[in-house]
Structure 1
Amino acid sequence: MWGAPAEPADSYYEVRPECTDVPTTKFKIRPGKTLSVRKWQAAFSPDGQLDISKTLGRIHRGGIHPTIRGEVWEFLLCCFDPRSTYEEREQLRLERREQYEKLKAVCHEIFPVVGSGQFITAPVISEDAGAETPNSTEIVKDLLSKGPLDKRIVDWLLLLHQIGLDVKRTDRSLVFYEKQENLLKLWDILAVYAWIDTDVGYCQGMSDLCSPMIILLEHEADAFWCFERLMRRLRGNFRCTASSVGVESQLSHLAMVTQVIDPKLHQHLETLGGGDYLFAVRMLMVLFRREFSFCDSLYLWEMMWALEYDPDLFYLYEEPSMEESSKLKSRSMRNYGKFERENMKMKTEETPLPISVFLVASVLKDKSTQLLHEARGLDDVVKVSSEYECIQLLLHTESNFYNRVRIRPRF
């Protein structure tokens, strides 16, 4: 209701009482600006088709009410076509749940700990041709007794203990993860994803991206597909080798943007040994999840997704062969996010940079004076970039927020 006071969102993501050093969220539910349950429901036609254009602007101005976050995210991440009906979405949801259970069954057949109500945190197989380790279970010993294992299976088994270690560390301040069943959901989803993504598998940081899906979506399969859609956008961030990181191209562009908008700051960062901008790797890789509080990072994500929203991605994800014909399905530019519309107007063949690059550049520019006077090392740069004012900049500016991130210098 207009005129009603803003409501803090902390209560929706309860923190364990002993975790006293957890930052409180700066995001507040603002009546008239935050996408409410009423406004969300009003955006659907009687048969369930969503007028996505009605919601995108409100999301990037005021975020989403926590009670409907999960179902709105499924649209923002293109799990569903806004033009689909309630019946069509329910059918697709059931098909996806069945597909997830089949994938999980395959993993369970190879390594029965998956889906068993347990998870592992110690290596069970060695990199040396899949030999046993002191921690090897009878399951692994039985597998090895049947002859040499397929490389795909060995590579997957090598990841499972690291997933377990990360699951135990992810969002441990939240009461939600005091329940063992929620930890198990997170481990099972990441284990199944590592099996199907043979290129990337699993890397540290993915658990930070997956955790909110578990919290927001009650059904494990729904959380899996939401995470899978997010990884289609971000999996390139995790392609790392001994000589390069997955976000290397983004770091390069971040350096070029900063050099153009603030040459003195860029020179100062080079003097500190940060000219490669590696201090921003974590920000870009997991989208500020570790820089901000849990709730603030979710708010930032949905703002970015609303700005970048492309309704055609549903068809590209669901049926890649329909990529060209899908361009006919988006009848109105209003159905695209504001940032994506700007990209389309530019009519360039180059892949547009993600909005996260411009967000980091925006923070650096805004904190330029402080960085020039106070930063004496890269740790100082990271600290200043994560301060309260930066969160305010990203989370509580509306038109200014968009103007800052739309910087597009021509090199």
Structure 2
Amino acid sequence: MWGAPAEPADSYYEVRPECTDVPVTKFKIKPGKTLSVRKWQTSFAPDGQLDIGKTLNRIHRGGIHPTIRGEVWEFLLGCFDPKSTYEEREQLRQQRREQYQKWKNDCREIFPVVGSGQFITAPVITEDGQPIQDPLVLLEANNAGGDGPNSTEIVQELINRGPLDKKIIDWLLLLHQIGLDVKRTDRSLVFYEKQENLSKLWDILAVYAWIDTDVGYCQGMSDLCSPMIILLDDEADSFWCFERLMRRLRGNFRCTESSVGVEAQLSHLAAVTQVIDPKLHQHLETLGGGDYLFAVRMLMVLFRREFSFCDSLYLWEMMWALEYDPDLFYLYEEPTPSLEETKKKAKSMRHYGKFERENMKIKTDEAPLPISVFLVASVLKEKSTKLLQEARGLDDVVKILNDITGSLDAKKACNEAIKLHKKYLKKVLLVSFL
């Protein structure tokens, strides 16, 4: 029905009535453009193999219907190989659920609040590994009930364990920070009025911090994980979607004594801006913003703060569809023999995302830049005139960029990013030939 009206998407992510300053989504569910339930179901062969090329095109045209968003994301993020069968995916899903439960049980043995339906927002140990004696610091965990231990029991359990090793100390020190961030994440959504959903988010981040000792937990990761909890019913499935997303982004969160992980992307952003808008780059350098630190938030949490919740999901799925690589699953997974047999050595270019196809044309040993860099560059380009005329200091730059919140169009931003990407590659190639 080509004449059918576009359906608003806000109703799928209900906002609390008292939150009146939340940006209204620009994303509309458009019949004939948005990937619908029916189109999604007909993209599978009888044995379960997915026509990923057709799916990518549909997503780029109009995003994904909210009711199937979670299961489509599992493919976009590389959780499953499109060439796998229903049976193979179900087997892999069960293996992953068991693995997650094992990790969660390991965490619960160390700290019994994990998996209890509770979470903490105050520290439980000192930096030298000594349990904090005052049980009042743990009352936050018990406000909503749950089947977990009380404050006194938690402290006593830690005391009974005796000296803690460094991995456990480092992990325990993170748990209250995760709790503080969980309480602040997407609180405008009705979904997070339920304590069980807050606890689920805390559990996933706590388990992730346990297994990824290099990154642990950093502020911003709760913003990346939250949509997974909302879109997928099973906690383990949400965890694995988040884990796959972190494989792409964890470099941004890795910090050393001398550098922050996101600095690499900031330097790429500076290089791209210098090529496509040298006048703006020079102006930013003159203002002392040549390190592009004002763009950290956009890169770290993929525009979660600049878009409404619904629009940020729309933006993400378009980004992932544009960057899609059919070998993504194999880059992430040690495949079982049956899955290995399904891998096609010769793949049609239509199985790659549009952005990835452009990158494949360039013969270079360097890893291609992510589309997120070009998205930020497109925002800077759009605001170039305003930045050049009105920014007299870094505070002005930050204010101008903060003013874009709620005004950006996700599809337009992606299209502009693709244009800038082509322009950048063309100019860089031209320079390399000279």
TM superposition score normalised by structure 2: 0.89
Distance 1:389 1:112 in 2: 40
Contact 2:306 2:406 in 1 (8 A): no
Distance 1:398 1:248 in 2: 23
In the other structure, the counterpart of 1:296 is 311
> 1:39-92 CA deviation, whole Å, 9 max, x = no partner?
111111111110000011121222111111001000000101101111111111
Distance 1:377-1:393 versus aligned 2 partners, 3 A rule: farther
1:353 Cα offset (Å): 0.9
1:385 Cα offset (Å): 3.4
Q: Which amino acid aligns with 1:245?
A: V
> 1:312-348 CA deviation, whole Å, 9 max, x = no partner?
12112111899x9998545222211111122122121
Q: Is residue 225 of structure 2 the alignment partner of residue 230 of structure 1?
A: no
Distance 1:163 1:9 in 2: 29
Equivalent position to 2:216, from 201, 207, 212: 201
Q: Which amino acid aligns with 1:354?
A: P
> 1:88-138 CA deviation, whole Å, 9 max, x = no partner?
111111111111111111111111100011111000001124453533753
In the other structure, the counterpart of 1:340 is 356
In the other structure, the counterpart of 1:151 is 166
In the TM superposition, what are the counterparts of 1:186-265 in structure 2 within 5 Å?
Answer: 186-265=201-280
Which piece of structure 1 moves more, 137-146 or 211-220? 137-146
Contact 2:107 2:114 in 1 (8 A): yes
Q: Which amino acid aligns with 2:80?
A: F
Which piece of structure 1 moves more, 32-41 or 42-51? 32-41
Percent identity, aligned pairs only, is 80
In the other structure, the counterpart of 2:366 is 350
Which piece of structure 1 moves more, 368-377 or 355-364? 368-377
1:252 Cα offset (Å): 0.8
Q: Which amino acid aligns with 1:279?
A: F
Distance 1:214 1:253 in 2: 31
Q: Is residue 111 of structure 2 the alignment partner of residue 111 of structure 1?
A: yes
> 1:186-240 CA deviation, whole Å, 9 max, x = no partner?
0000000000001100000000000000000011111000001100110111012
Contact 1:363 1:393 in 2 (8 A): no
Distance 2:119 2:179 in 1: 6
1:378 Cα offset (Å): 3.0
In the other structure, the counterpart of 1:285 is 300
1:266 Cα offset (Å): 1.2
Distance 1:310 1:261 in 2: 26
* Paired positions, count: 411
1:247 Cα offset (Å): 1.1
> 1:149-171 CA deviation, whole Å, 9 max, x = no partner?
11111100000000000000000
Q: Which amino acid aligns with 2:123?
A: P
Distance 2:17 2:372 in 1: 33
In the other structure, the counterpart of 1:52 is 52
Q: Which amino acid aligns with 2:116?
A: S
In the other structure, the counterpart of 1:86 is 86
Q: Which amino acid aligns with 2:72?
A: V
TM superposition score normalised by structure 1: 0.94
Distance 2:190 2:159 in 1: 40
1:379 Cα offset (Å): 3.9
Contact 1:251 1:277 in 2 (8 A): yes
Contact 2:276 2:420 in 1 (8 A): no
1:388 Cα offset (Å): 5.4
Distance 1:247 1:330 in 2: 35
In the other structure, the counterpart of 1:385 is 401
Q: Which amino acid aligns with 1:294?
A: F
Q: Which amino acid aligns with 1:378?
A: L
Contact 1:119 1:164 in 2 (8 A): yes
For structure 1, list consecutive stretches of 5 or more residues without a partner in the other structure. Answer: none
SS of alignment partner, residue 122 of structure 1: coil
Q: Is residue 333 of structure 2 the alignment partner of residue 318 of structure 1?
A: yes
Distance 1:294 1:382 in 2: 21
SS of alignment partner, residue 290 of structure 1: coil
Distance 1:393-1:293 versus aligned 2 partners, 3 A rule: closer
Q: Which amino acid aligns with 1:175?
A: V
Distance 1:366-1:274 versus aligned 2 partners, 3 A rule: same
1:383 Cα offset (Å): 4.1
Q: Which amino acid aligns with 1:395?
A: K
Contact 1:308 1:338 in 2 (8 A): yes
Distance 2:232 2:113 in 1: 23
For structure 2, list consecutive stretches of 5 or more residues without a partner in the other structure. Answer: 139-150
In the other structure, the counterpart of 2:101 is 101
In the TM superposition, what are the counterparts of 1:125-164 in structure 2 within 5 Å?
Answer: 125-132=125-132, 134=134, 135=137, 137=151, 138-164=153-179
Contact 2:308 2:406 in 1 (8 A): no
